[in-house]
Structure 1
Amino acid sequence: MKQLVIAERVCLTGHILAKAFGLAGILLVIPHAEKLLSFGEIGEKAIQVSMADGGVVDIVLGTIAVSIFAFRTLGLRTWLGFMVPAVLISVGSELLGTSTGLPFGDYSYLNGLGYKIAGLVPFTIPLSWFYVGLSAYLLARAGLGVAKNPSFLRQVGAIALGAILFTCWDFALEPAMSQTSLPFWYWEQPGAFFGTPYQNYAGWFGTSALFMTVAAFMWRNDPVKLERSQLNVPMIVYLSNFAFAAGLSLGAGYLIPVCFGFFGGVIPSLFLWWKAINTDTPVISAATIEVAAK
């Protein structure tokens, strides 16, 4: 167990540092790329590593950190009960979107996020749906006290709230990733909301709500009780990913989308984390016993 905790912390720290490195690279290096290029092959390699490979490393480390966290605190079956539908449903939605325009709109990925599945969707995209999605959903469940009172209304509320938190991350993410000088995807026809179609946000909400619903069904026999300290990792993951997106968008002058995301996602997530202190009490779950026995 101790080794898992160490590995989780190392990967989480690496995830955050990779984001900080990428943010600094995009905001500081790219605008002055000519200075690095003056160093010849070394400068070119530095730009390639920081820009082309940084995003892949960042997302892979985040996936590993959250996977270890979920395995440790929830158990193998509960972790996979979220990860498998999240990855499969999101990659299916992304493949459909890049092929037909539904449910997000007409868009295409560029080459900054790693190998593309079917030549359309970078393999890192469904991984990011998983680890940010799980973080948002756990905060929503804990804040609404689903483990203590798993009523139908609270279950539905947690799914809806988790999907809202997840979608609000995209308010800050979208302008930076598609409208700046270093885009990772582009819209065939830029939309009305700072270059993004409103349809995109409906697609994000619907896709995330769908895999959270499947996860809720898979978790129906597991209370998934988490005490406050166990919610620190989801909270850190959500805030660090939002901070990265907000930094890029603010650097490009996109204040309003960041404000939407901040007031719709960050403030509620902090409130849910705080409220979970009173709703979820420390317990020794079956998942903890299962992992400790190993």
Structure 2
Amino acid sequence: MSTLMRVERTLVIGHIFSMAFGLAGLLLVLPNPDFIASLPPIGKTAFAWSMAGGGVMYMLLGMAAVTVYAYRTLGVWHWLGFMLPALAISLSSELLGTSTGFPFGHYRYLTGLGYKIAGLVPFTIPLSWFYLGFSAYLIARAGLNTKISQNWLKIVASIVLGAIFLTAWDFVLDPAMSQTTMPFWVWDQPGAFFGMPYQNFAGWFGTGAVFMTVATLIWKVKPFNFPQHNLGLPLAIYVSNFAFAMIMSLAAGIYIPVLLGLMVGLIPVLVLYRLADTPTEADIPENLAKVSFNNG
């Protein structure tokens, strides 16, 4: 195993552990003030750190894990060709949304997610757009590579599905994170979907589709061998973040968004990952392919 692969593994394990630690604080410790008061000094310190920096830490680790993976598997051009548009476009959408209400609706961020850019958007938010969007798009495109031969159709379908998978994660995350005991953002424009306006999902889909399209155009400048089977890290990132959101929603008694997220997000992602991970005739050495397919 290469050094970069070891770093990836360490970062993604840290990312998942940080989310689990944050869940324990939000769901088990925070609702029980008597338990907090009974903690020893080191326990109170750990809880205070979890509430103040846990959200920042898990997003930083997720960003770092996907960054190392993208650099190792795609190279500098294609890593930056996705990351920079994702960061810039998602931040622009968030700044526009928190100041004007477009494209997501009127909302504002509270504390707990780090320093706010322009006093509006925590710097960690664009990071999550990048690492979730990258993971969703990569799995969608790798899975469709095995089923669609026309290149233009494959690219368009990958962008659409990648943006849908990204939005499906928000189906599950947003209701809980805005209605938990310690909310991280609030809606000044309450909507019909568990306190959120439907406009929010159009904004999510549109923002994701835009930066995925820009990244795809940048990638076309320098053609490369698309990673078809080495998708364990993107899958781990998507599944672990979906699980975090699902546990938060279920703990808050919010079920319908979880079902929607499963149907249009997690289950299709798992199917496409399986398709991408299934060897095709093109993946089998020529001599072995002749033997295998002739005997079949």
Check whether TM > 0.5.
yes
Partner of residue 94, structure 2: 94
Q: Using the TM superposition, give the Cα deviation of residue 46 of structure 1 relative to its aligned residue in structure 2, in angstroms.
A: 2.9
> Which secondary structure state, in structure 1, belongs to the residue aligned with residue 108 of structure 2?
strand
Q: CA deviation at 1:237?
A: 0.5
Partner of 1:130: 130
- Which has the larger displacement, 23-32 or 64-73? 23-32
Matches within 5 A, 1:26-175: 26-39=26-39, 44-145=44-145, 149=149, 151-175=151-175
Assess if the C-alpha contact under 8 Å between 1:148 and 1:279 holds in 2: no
Q: 1:31 aligns to what SS in structure 2?
A: coil
1:82 and 1:108 map into 2 onto residues whose CA distance is 27
User: How far off is 1:33 after superposition?
Assistant: 2.6
Q: Is the CA contact (8 Å cut-off) linking 1:25 and 1:51 kept in structure 2?
A: yes
1-side partners of 2:73 and 2:170: how far apart? 27
Superposition pairs of residues 233-252 of structure 1, within 5 angstroms: 233-252=233-252
Q: Which residue of 1 aligns with 2:253?
A: 253
Check the 8 A contact 2:146/2:275 in 1, yes or no: no
Q: Which residue of 2 is the match for residue 12 of structure 1?
A: 12
Residues in 2 aligned to 1:49 and 1:34: alpha-carbon distance in whole angstroms: 18
Q: Which amino acid aligns with 1:171?
A: F
TM-aligned CA deviation for residue 279 of structure 1: 7.0
> What is the match of residue 222 of structure 1?
223
TM-aligned CA deviation for residue 227 of structure 1 = 3.0
**Preserved CA contact (<8 Å) 2:66 2:131:** yes
Conserved? CA contact 2:137–2:159, under 8 Å: yes
Q: CA deviation at 1:48?
A: 1.9
> For the residues of structure 1 that align with 2:179 and 2:271, how far apart are their CA atoms?
31
Read off the aligned partner of 2:18 and give its amino acid letter: A
- 1:45 Cα deviation from its structure 2 partner: 2.9
Are the aligned partners of 1:226 and 1:282 in contact in 2 as well (CA < 8 Å)? no
| AA of the residue aligned to 1:14 | G
1:143 Cα offset (Å) = 0.9
One-letter code of the match for 2:180?
T
Whole-angstrom CA distance in 1 between matches of 2:149 and 2:67: 26
Q: Distance in 2 between matches of 1:208 and 1:115?
A: 23
- 1:27-46 deviations in whole A, cap 9, x for unaligned? 10111133213458655433
Q: CA deviation at 1:148?
A: 8.0
Judged with a 3 Å threshold, the aligned counterparts in structure 2 of structure 1 residues 161 and 276 are, in CA distance, closer, same or farther, namely same
RMSD of aligned alpha carbons = 1.9
**For 1:96-139, what per-residue CA distance to the aligned partner results, in whole angstroms no more than 9, with x for missing partners?**
00000000000000011000001100000000000000000001
Could you tell me whether the CA contact under 8 Å between 2:30 and 2:36 is conserved in 1? no
Distance 1:245 1:41, change over 3 A: same
Matched residues, number: 282
| Contact kept in structure 2, 1:116 and 1:122, CA below 8 Å | yes
Q: Which residue is equivalent to 1:277?
A: 277
Q: Which amino acid aligns with 2:270?
A: L
**Aligned with 2:181: secondary structure?**
coil
1:222, CA displacement in angstroms? 2.1
* Amino acid across the alignment from 2:117: I
Indicate how the Cα distance of structure 1 residues 224 and 208 shifts in structure 2: closer, same or farther if over 3 A, else same: farther
Structure 1 unaligned residues grouped into runs of 5+? 284-294
Distance (whole Å) between structure 1 residues aligned to residue 217 and residue 147 of structure 2: 14
Identity %: 56
Amino acid at match of 1:117: I
Rounded Cα–Cα distance in structure 2 between residues aligned with 1:82 and 1:267? 25
The match for 1:290 is none
Partner of 1:25: 25
Q: Which stretch shifts more, 35-44 or 154-163?
A: 35-44
Q: Distance in 1 between matches of 2:218 and 2:187?
A: 35
